[in-house]
């Protein structure tokens, strides 16, 4: 096995490249195979309108000023600007009633900017469509 020793001395890349050809490629075919996402992923927020006491703490603490308090049926509710949001979940932490929870939805790309603004009604737990 002189060749084997000689190959090893040469450079490990020679053997590695050949062995890689016969191994299964490490590619995950994303659009067909949905990726397994860990539990705590910081994806899109899920806002529960029933728990919210419209105190505005989340809007005050948001580093990117992505939460705007909007009047919904008399009460002030947070409206999420997803294009400004940096998904740090400081709002979930500083919300006294933890009405904001994280979810694993991360496919948020959109062709026009307007549907990146998530209104409180449409985003609440009951109506969580997307």
Contact between 130 and other proteins by CB under 8 A: the answer reads no
**SS3 of 119, please?**
coil
Residues 6-65 that bind other proteins (CB under 8 A): 9-14, 16-18, 20-21, 23, 25-31, 35, 38, 40-42, 61-65
Closest to 83 measured CA to CA, from 58, 66, 61: 66
> What is the Cα–Cα distance from 19 to 5, expressed in whole angstroms?
17
CA separation for the pair 56, 71 (Å, rounded):
12
Determine if 106 is a binding residue for other proteins (CB under 8 A): yes
Out of 53, 56, 71, 93, the only residue in the binding site for other proteins (CB under 8 A) is 93
Residue 103 binds other proteins (CB under 8 A): no
CB of 45 to other proteins, least distance (A): 12
70 binds other proteins (CB under 8 A): no
Closest by CA position to 39, among listed 128, 99, 101, 103 = 103
């Amino acid at each position: 096995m002189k060749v084997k020793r000689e190959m090893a001395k040469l450079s490990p890349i020679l053997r590695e490249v050949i062995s890689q050809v016969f191994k299964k490629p490490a590619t995950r075919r994303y659009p067909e195979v949905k990726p397994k996402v860990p539990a705590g992923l910081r994806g899109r927020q899920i806002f529960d309108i029933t728990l919210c006491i419209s105190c505005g703490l989340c809007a005050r603490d948001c580093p990117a000023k992505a939460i705007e308090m909007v009047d919904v049926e008399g009460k002030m509710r947070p409206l999420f600007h997803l294009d400004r949001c940096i998904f740090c979940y400081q709002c979930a932490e500083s919300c006294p009633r933890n009405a904001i929870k994280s979810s694993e939805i991360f496919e948020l790309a959109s062709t026009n900017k307007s549907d990146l603004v998530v209104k409180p009604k449409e985003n609440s737990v009951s109506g969580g469509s997307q």
